[in-house]
Structure formats: structure tokens, C-alpha cells
Structure 1
Amino acid sequence: MTQERKSVDAAQLQRSLRFSRLPEPVRLEDTVEERPAAPHDSVSGAYNADWWLIRMGGL
């Protein structure tokens, strides 16, 4: 009769420890970063109501 030997090498042991469980779930709050796209120019205090029109080439 042949007996099976179960030998686990170091690489196989590392793989089984690494992939034996799922990673911790990531919360949705940790995946989102909120910040303004462009800082507000509060130094000059200038406000142009038609800025979007000028910026988008409407004039």
C-alpha cells in the first residue's frame, strides 16, 4: 500500500495564510474625498455673475 505523505513547503504555507480569508471590507465613507475643485478668490472679492459664460466661450 502506498501512503500519501502530506508535506507543506514554506511557499505553500505562505499562500494558504495569505489567501485563506477575505480582506476586511472598506467603508464607503473611506472611499470618498470631498474638496472644492478650485479655491474661492476671497482676496479680490470680485464677483462676476457671467463668469461661467465667459469661461465656457459664450461671449
Structure 2
Amino acid sequence: MNEELIGEAAAAAARHARYGRLPERIRFEEMTEGVEAGPGDGGRASYDPQSAWKYYSCLALDLGL
């Protein structure tokens, strides 16, 4: 039993020597960024039903079916 503990401790020490430690955790607040839309960004975000067909993708239409 004692030999198993020594073997496990040696394996853990070898892993630590090879890989070091895990990187520090990143908080959720550091992962997100809030950006306000400027005056020129409003046209891009709005929905225009008359020109929505330009961005429609359909495999049947692409194949001419």
C-alpha cells in the first residue's frame, strides 16, 4: 500500500514537472465587451424586407430546381 502512494506521488510530481500548472481562470466580465452602436451602424442592423431576398440562400434555387 505504501509503495502505491509513493508511485502515485512520483507520477504526480512528474506530471507537474512536465506540464506545470493550469492557467488562471478568466472571469466572465473579462470575456465580454460592450460596444455602443454609432450613427453609421444603424443601417446595417435594421431589417429591410425589400432587400432581404439578396441574402437568402436556398440549395434548390442554387441548383436551379
TM-score, scaled relative to structure 2: 0.33
Specify which structure has the higher proportion of helix.
2
